[in-house]
Amino acid sequence: MTAPDAAQLPEREAPPCPPSIVEDVLKILDKAVRAHQLYMHNNPTYLKAVENARRAFDPLWQQVDELVLQVTETQLTWYDVPVHVQPDKAGDSLPWLFFKDGLRELTILPGFEQEELDRFLAIIPKVRHAQAHEDDLLTLLWEQEFEALRYRYVELGDGGAATLEASADPGRWPVPAGQEPAPLKSAIDEAREEQAKAGAGDAAAPRPSGLIRIEDFDATLYFLDQHEVEYLKQETQREYALDLRRLTVSALLDIFELQVDPLVRAEVGNDLEALVLHLLSAGQFSSVAFLLREIEGTMQRARELKPADRERLGRLSERLSHPDSLAQMLQALEESSALPPADELAQLFAELKPTALVVLLEFTDRTVNAALKPLLEGAADRLAQSNTAELVKLVKAPKVSVARQAIRRAGSMKAAAAVPALGELLAGGADRELRTVAVAALTEIGTPGALSALEVALGDEDRDIRVATLRALAARTHRPALAKVEAMVGGKMAKDADRTERIALFELFGSICGDGGVPMLDGILSAKGGLFARKEDPELRACAAVALGKVGSAAARKALEKAVGEKDVIVKAAVSRALRGGGA
């Protein structure tokens, strides 16, 4: 037999780029499919395999606009060149996997590797392990509605499936003319034909009682009344609005309450513990709060409840309030780009135990999430108000951030129980920042005991703390501090202090000394100095005038009137304002 002339052979179209590029793409894609089966989706090996598959398409799209692959039992071909060969017809062979479900041509377009690659990788393991009753490859591909992945296939039951036309549109390959299968009759059509044959001779015969004919349902497609349609809509909406998580929680708690068998209750306890973890990881905080609330009522109603079961269920809220567990959850919320609804978080925080206060205070101090901070503050305030002893203990916490927030809440709550601890902070030389907020807290509390504890800060080494203390005592007119303040006015401090501190000191003295302090202030104001005497500081004399203005009595006014003719500008201005009732 002679060989055909070369001129008579059909000319094969040359590939637009080296087939090795396509081979590399398919080889790396196959590795990504295997990695999807072997590793979790957060595993570094899997992530690297998927990233390699995405990058492998880049050199291919620089050469071609699309990748059209023909599928046979053992290989994928491109321009009649085998680019992926798997000799064995096994479940891990991509060609056989495509071929056995009828897929004969696969077209991949640019962009497939960006958004649709992950969905494609998820389909392949399902097909490899699919049972006979489960969906095949074509069904799964159709469900995903790929944009950059097209395919053509044959119906495996068609008699003409083996004859393929290259000009056919993507989708099912057409069956050649003359080989179309006979149209299938529906069950309704067959029933109508049989009924027509059976009743051809006796159409007028009376219908037996209880017999239903298919024609009875042909009157109209919409056979429901308007109120029935509305009822169905309402019931459908109500069904979709049901929270299945809460229904599951309620069912488990009902079983625990009604079943006294220890094994049943132990199993329900295991389920509830696992359910709390799943709900927290899914961000269903309102469901967790619902569970913790309902547990209290369940334990009160349950019959023959053993101490071990009561302790186990009671530990659920304690575990959530444990510093380690709560810190992890709050850190996840802090780093989250979108928080759960505020009411859900508020419901969860309302179930926290006193042990959670330290973590709430710490995160309140350091959080930068504007939406999370008010929720943390509200939860911390609630726990602090109901657990004053825990709050007082945290005033002296080792962590400055926790102690700072505890001191602020003690002040805003006007917690008199925190006064001794705050006084110890001021007297014990604590951190400057803590002493500052302690002064503010004692000022807010404002009880005689708080103001007495505040007197310690009059001798603080920090000038700002001393000024804040002087102003706080002056605002409260704390007369028990008169002895200390008088000693400061007549001592070295009044002479060495700056102008702001001097004014605060003399205003405090003037507000609490009464007429008893007028001689001392008059002596400072009128001390002009002689030939051999040291001249008094004009600013100190002006401060004495301010103090006399605060006294406001007749004796104080008389002392001020004596200094009306003062030549020093600073003293003269202070005396004038004091006589008019003005301030410093």
163 and 23 housed in the same domain: yes
Where a domain ends, among 149, 172, 195? 172
d(CA 227, CA 265): 46
List Cβ neighbours of 182 (8 Å cut-off, separation of 6 or more).
none
**Same domain for 140 and 273:** no
Mark whether 42 and 123 lie in a shared domain: yes
What tokens appear for 464 in the block?
């700002």
Of 468, 476, 408, nearest to 437 (Cα)? 408
Low-confidence residues in the chain, pLDDT < 50: 1-9, 158-168, 172, 175, 179-182, 184, 186-187, 530-534, 583-584
What is the count of structural domains for the chain?
Answer: 3
Query: Which pLDDT value is given to residue 77?
Result: 92
pTM above 0.85, yes or no: no
Owner of token pair 């917690």: 415
Q: Is residue 65 part of a domain?
A: yes
Residue range of the domain that includes 272:
244-321
Burial class of residue 153 (count of CB atoms within 10 Å of its CB; 0-12, 13-18, 19+): buried
pLDDT attached to residue 107: 92
Task: Read off the pLDDT of residues 51-61 as tens digits, 9 standing for 90 and up.
Answer: 998 999 999 89
pLDDT the model gives residue 198: 58
The whole-number pLDDT of residue 535 equals 56
Separation CA 99–CA 121 (nearest Å): 17
User: What is the pLDDT, as a whole number, of residue 127?
Assistant: 81
Residue 338, C-beta contacts closer than 8 angstroms, at least 6 positions apart: none
**Same domain, residue pair 28 and 150:** yes
Residues 158 and 269 in one domain: no
Q: Which of 172, 204, 231 is the last residue of a domain?
A: 172
Domain end point (choices 284, 305, 321): 321
The per-residue DSSP string of 68-96 comes to EEEE-SSEEEETTEEEEE--S-STT-HHH
Is residue 12 in some structural domain? no
Q: Are 433 and 401 in contact (CB under 8 A)?
A: no
* 23 and 165 co-located in one domain: yes
Q: Are residues 160 and 24 in the same domain?
A: yes
DSSP class of residue 107 equals: E
Identify the pLDDT of residue 214. 59
Strands of the 75-78 sheet, one edge to the other: 81-85, 75-78, 67-71, 103-108, 149-153, 171-172
Assigned domain for 218 exists: no
> Using CA atoms, how far apart are residues 504 and 515, in angstroms rounded to an integer?
19
Q: Do residues 23 and 162 share a domain? A: yes
Q: How many CA atoms lie within 13 A of 445 on its CB side?
A: 28
User: Is 288 within a domain?
Assistant: yes
